[in-house]
Chains A and B, each alone.
Chain A
Amino acid sequence: MRQKLARVLGGVAISALVISGAAACKADSGSESSGSSAACDLKIGFFGPLTGDAAGLGIHMRNGTKLAIDQYNTENADCKVTLTEYDSQGDPAKAPALAQQAVGDPKVVGIVGPAFSGESEVADPIFDQAGLPIITPSATRPSLSEKNWKIFHRGVGNDTSQGPAAGRYIKNVLKAEKVYVVDDQSAYGAGLVDEVKKVIGAVAGEDKVQVKQTNFSAVVSKIVGSGATALFFGGYYTEAGLLLKQLKEAGWKGTMVAGDGVNDANFIKVAGNAVAEGTILTCPCAPATEAEGSFVNDYKAAFNADPGTYGDVSYDITKIFLEGIKDGKSSREDMLAFIKAYNKAGTATGVTYKFESNGELDPAQVVVWAFKVAGGQVVPDVEIPKA
């Protein structure tokens, strides 16, 4: 049986090789012809972690994207848009296969993501070659916009806008004399801490923790021993919640300040209301106001959970793509041009989306707000002034 199978396979293989030229031509003409049927039946991709360690962050972004698309589809039942998920597990090694798949599907006209800077480094060149426009809701590494990727857009301010703002808040609003800084060694966390340090100058001490770590007793001893009254944490919500919990248990009375990676309902879930109370969370986004949209309520109704970090940004940038589709932009080039010319405020974040030529959000539009945890809720505190 085996040699029979081998023979069949071999025969097929050889005959296929012979006719390869003709077949290749056929394939090329076949795949592109479906684009003319108006802006219907198109796809928007979500690129980010849905399984694996970082899934907690990715799922909120996916939900924001899904909510926008579902709302669009109920309004335009005759001309639906499909959400395609590319689950990268946050692993750069998994990114090329997914990016190439997205690129190879001509119906995909836009990508929300990639969620992280690491996978962006790998996936974005692929999107760039294929001219598939992307808007990332969360990859904040500054250097991403310096690589001349024409398809790259960032729906949030990068680390150089949020970090200094957080530093200014600590310096001017908290007026903390002794500041301890801790990061989680991730590109995101370490990058933020570098920017914060530039603004506040001398720090009372600094340390690094490891992602997935749960016992922070060593760094807790150091922070308590240093007499710091403020702590800046660069990293994500789980470690932030655990660190703060253990700090408060050790009797620390200071204020923790953290970036948008912690600005997530899960942070309060991990730390508990009492522990999280008073924590300052910065975010390169504006608070959602009731006049602007019912995003928070819609999200809760759809997913039975509070919207997490970047869920709102994902929602807004998905709407940019959806507006483009509604406008009849059915090809990637048209969509890219549409995004480049876009200039409107998002309903969930309140940020006006207008991109510079390198894909960064127009600096005039980048607002950084400080939020405060009060009574188990993240509430807007104050807009941090520029410089």
Chain B
Amino acid sequence: MTATAHKGKLAQMRQRWSDMPKQVRWAGLAALVAFFYILPNRWFYEYLGFPIGSEYFAFYTTRSDFAAVLFDTAVFVLLAVGLNVVVGFTGLLDLGYFGFYAVGAYTVALLTSPASRLDLTWPWLAAVPVAIVVTMISGVILGTPTLRLRGDYLAIVTLGFAEMIRLYAARNDGLLQGQRGIPEVQHPPGPMVDGRPLFGVVDSKPYYWLILTVIIVIIFAMRNLERSRVGRAWVAIREDEDAAEIMGVPTFKYKLWAFAIGAAVGGLTGAIFAGKQTFINSDSFLLESSILVLAAVILGGAGGIKGAIIGGALTWYLPEWFRGFGQIIGLDFDTAEYRILIFGLIIIVMMIFRPQGLVPNRRRAAEFADRRKEAVPQETVPSE
């Protein structure tokens, strides 16, 4: 019962927020965005008087570079936002999302690297749209035969496809250069004031700002998409595919669109990742990561963009932060080895207390409430 009371409070807060004048809400959002932009700067914490990694500012990752962790976290957030189109909006269970990420990264690597067997050495910026188109096409190719499957069968088939992509990349010694991988992938362009390239290898901050900007653009696009005809069709498919079909929604077409758009975001993420990483081999696209992205979407509360963002951020950031957790709480004990264990425990506990996700989508929450009502007779049966 405490859970519902808590939820009430949260809903109240949400209500108050949406009752605020539009200007205030925009200013609040702008401040939040500005905050994210200055987050990786060391001087920010020094200016605030928080020594890094101290008990005053415990959220700084002390064992891996904060800006780089923020970049990786942002990669995960973008992936979660992309997968949310498929899993959250449309309700299709996709366990192989990393396959698209791999396709995007490999496309950029092949087109831009002087070490690639294609020997094209395109600039990074020219390769990105190609990567997006290629992943979109691969999404359609994958989706056309598989989207007739439902639920868990779709999950295992997408998982199979992602594994096929990875295994093929690992064993293809020709174009993809096997496990030796493709080195010397080009960075995004752009000089700094002093003429040095903005996107180098030592500093992750420019990459973080780049991907943060991309995330913001994608979020706006997604919000519009969600409220468009396409978005409403997706929700209809999620709630009841058969009913949607009968009401005249061409479900297959819209499912394919969801797949293609999700894939395109995955490909874009892969392209940015390749541009920063400079080296690509199949080790970066393990199945475990694919499952983690799905976990991120659901942890945050599938269906809403906010949920995807928060889920994605926590899924990457928490384990990285746990590396230095022992130090932060002043223990002479290295928590790095336990970080995945602790993360697993957090998932279990979080799901028990917030099964609908951290920030459930309002409409989704209503669906669950319906389910709950329907399920009442079953609960009244004395059990245990």
Q: Per the CB under 8 Å rule, do A and B touch in the complex?
A: yes
Q: Does A19 contact B (CB under 8 A)?
A: yes
A-B residue pairs in contact (CB < 8 Å), sample of 24:
A2-B16, A6-B29, A6-B31, A14-B31, A17-B38, A19-B47, A20-B43, A30-B46, A51-B337, A87-B337, A90-B283, A91-B286, A93-B283, A97-B71, A100-B203, A101-B65, A104-B65, A118-B281, A118-B283, A121-B181, A122-B278, A187-B179, A187-B281, A208-B171
Contact (Cβ within 8 A) B277 A92: yes
Residue-wise, chain A 80-124 has the 8 Å CB interface mask toward B (1 for contact) of 000001110011111011111101100000000000001001100
For residue B273, which residues in chain A have a CB less than 8 angstroms away from its CB? 93
Mask of B173-185 contacts with A, CB within 8 angstroms, 1/0 = 1000011110100
Chain B contact surface mostly: helix
Whole-angstrom distance from the CB of A167 to the nearest CB of chain B?
Answer: 20
Which 4 A-B pairs give the minimum distances between C-beta atoms? A10-B31, A97-B68, A100-B65, A6-B28
Point out the residue from A51, A96, A103 that lies within 8 Å of B340, measured CB to CB. Answer: A51
The answer to whether B201 touches A126, judged by C-beta atoms less than 8 angstroms apart, is yes
**Given A6-B32, A23-B43, A85-B334, A118 and B340 touching (CB < 8 A)?**
no
When distances are taken between beta carbons in the complex, the residues of chain B under 8 Å from A329 are none
Kindly provide the distance from the CB of A223 to the nearest chain B CB, expressed in whole angstroms.
Answer: 20
Is the CB–CB distance between A101 and B63 below 8 Å?
yes
- Contact call B179/A118, Cβ cutoff below 8 A: yes
Q: Does A227 make an interface contact (CB < 8 A)?
A: no
A86 to B48, CA, bound (A): 28
Pair B63/A92 contact, Cβ less than 8 Å: no
CA–CA, A338 and B144, complex, Å:
61
CB distance from B84 to the nearest CB of A (A): 21
B48 touches A16 (CB 8 A): yes
**A50 interface residue (CB < 8 Å to B):** yes
Interchain CA distance A13-B283 in the complex, whole Å:
38
Report B-chain residues with C-beta under 8 Å of the C-beta of A14: 31, 34
Smallest beta-carbon distance B6→chain A, Å: 14
Decide: A87 near B31, CB < 8 A? Known: A3-B17, A118-B181, A130-B202. Answer: no
Question: Measured between alpha carbons, how far is A20 from B40 in the docked complex, in Å?
Answer: 13
B202 touches A91 (CB 8 A): no
A256 vs B20: C-alpha distance in the bound complex, in angstroms? 75
Is the CB–CB distance between A98 and B64 below 8 Å? yes
B35 and A129 contact, CB distance less than 8 A: no
Contact B67 A100 (CB under 8 A): yes
A185 CB within 8 Å of chain B: yes
Q: Across the interface, which residues of A come within 8 angstroms of B238, CB to CB?
A: none
Determine if A154 is an interface residue (Cβ-Cβ < 8 Å): no
Is B118 among interface residues, defined by CB-CB distance under 8 A?
Answer: no
Q: How large is the interface on A (under 10, 10 to 19, 20 to 34, 35 or more residues)?
A: 35 or more
Please report the C-alpha to C-alpha distance between residue A94 and residue B20 in the assembled complex, in whole angstroms: 42
Which residues 134-184 of A sit at the B interface, judged by CB distance below 8 A?
141
Which residue in B24, B65, B72, B284 is a CB contact (below 8 Å) of A92?
B284
Cα A141 to Cα B179 with chains together (Å): 12
Q: Which of A1, A10, A118, A186 contacts B32 (CB 8 A)?
A: A10
Does residue B364 face the partner (Cβ distance < 8 Å to A)? no
Inter-subunit contact A26/B201 (CB<8 Å): no
**Contacting pair A85 B336 (CB below 8 A):** yes
Does chain A have a CB within 8 A of B255? no
Cross-chain contact B336 with A50 (CB below 8 angstroms): yes
Contact A7 B13 (CB under 8 A): no
Q: How far is the CA of A97 from the CA of B320 in the complex (A)?
A: 10
Tell me whether A3 and B38 are in contact (CB under 8 A). Answer: no
B279 proximity list for chain A (CB < 8 A): 92, 118, 121-122
Looking across the interface, which residue of chain B has its beta carbon closest to that of A10? B31
Across the interface, do B171 and A27 meet the contact criterion of CB distance under 8 Å? no
Determine the chain B residues whose CB is within 8 A of the CB of A125 once the complex forms.
201, 278
- Contact between chains at B28 and A3 (CB < 8 Å): yes
A12 CB-CB contact with B under 8 Å: yes
Q: Which residues of the partner chain B approach A130 to less than 8 Å between Cβ atoms?
A: 202
Majority DSSP secondary structure for residues of A touching B: helix
A301 within 8 A of B: no
Interface flag for B170 (CB, 8 Å) = yes
The answer for the CA separation of A93 and B283 in the assembled complex, in Å, is: 8
CB-CB contacts below 8 Å: B1-16 with A: 13, 16
The residue that B65 contacts in the complex, of A24, A98, A121, with Cβ under 8 A, is A98
Give every chain B residue within 8 A of A2 (Cβ-Cβ): 13, 16-17, 28
User: Which residues of chain A come closer than 8 Å to B41, judged between CB atoms?
Assistant: 20
Per the 8 Å Cβ criterion, residues 260-299 of B in contact with A are 273, 276-279, 281, 283-284, 286
**Considering the complex, which residues of chain B in the window 59-90 have a beta carbon less than 8 Å from any beta carbon of chain A?**
61, 63-65, 67-69, 71-72
| Smallest CB gap from B179: residue in A | A187
Q: Is B43 touching A26 in the complex (CB atoms < 8 A)?
A: yes
CB distance from B17 to the nearest CB of A (A): 6
Residues of B within 8 A of A185 (CB): 170-171, 178-179
Q: How far is the CB of B109 from chain A (nearest CB, A)?
A: 12
Contacts of B171 in A (CB 8 A): 185, 208
Is A305 part of the binding interface, using a Cβ–Cβ cutoff of 8 Å? Answer: no
What is the CA–CA distance of A3 and B34 in the complex, to the nearest angstrom?
A: 15
A10 contacts across to B, CB distance below 8 A: 27-28, 30-32, 34-35
From residue 1 to 58 of chain A, which have CB atoms closer than 8 A to chain B?
1-3, 6-7, 9-14, 16-17, 19-20, 23-24, 26-27, 30, 50-51
Not counting A87-B336, A98-B68, A187-B179, a sample of 7 additional A-B residue pairs whose C-beta atoms are within 8 angstroms of each other reads: A2-B16, A23-B44, A23-B47, A96-B65, A100-B204, A187-B180, A187-B181
B117 within 8 A of A: no
For the complex, give the distance between the alpha carbons of A94 and B179 in Å.
17
List, in ascending order, chain B residues with CB within 8 A of A191's CB. 180
| Cα distance, A9 to B29, chains bound together (Å) | 10
| Contact indicator B43/A27 (Cβ below 8 Å) | yes
How far does the alpha carbon of A208 sit from the alpha carbon of B171 in the complex, in Å? 9
Give the distance in Å from the alpha carbon of A191 to the alpha carbon of B179 in the complex. Answer: 10
Answer yes or no: A242 CB below 8 A from chain B CBs: no
Residues of B contacting A96 with CB < 8 Å? 65, 68, 201, 204, 276-277
Q: Is A199 an interface residue (CB 8 A)?
A: no
Q: Which residues of B contact A101 (CB under 8 A)?
A: 61, 63-65, 68
A103: chain B residues within 8 A (beta carbon): 65, 202
In this assembly, does B160 line the interface, its C-beta being within 8 Å of a C-beta of chain A? Answer: no
A219 close to chain B: CB less than 8 A: no
A190 CB–B CB distance under 8 Å: yes
- For residue B16, which residues in chain A have a CB less than 8 angstroms away from its CB? 2-3
Q: Tell me the residues in window 173-216 of chain B with beta carbons closer than 8 Å to chain A beta carbons.
A: 173, 178-181, 183, 200-204
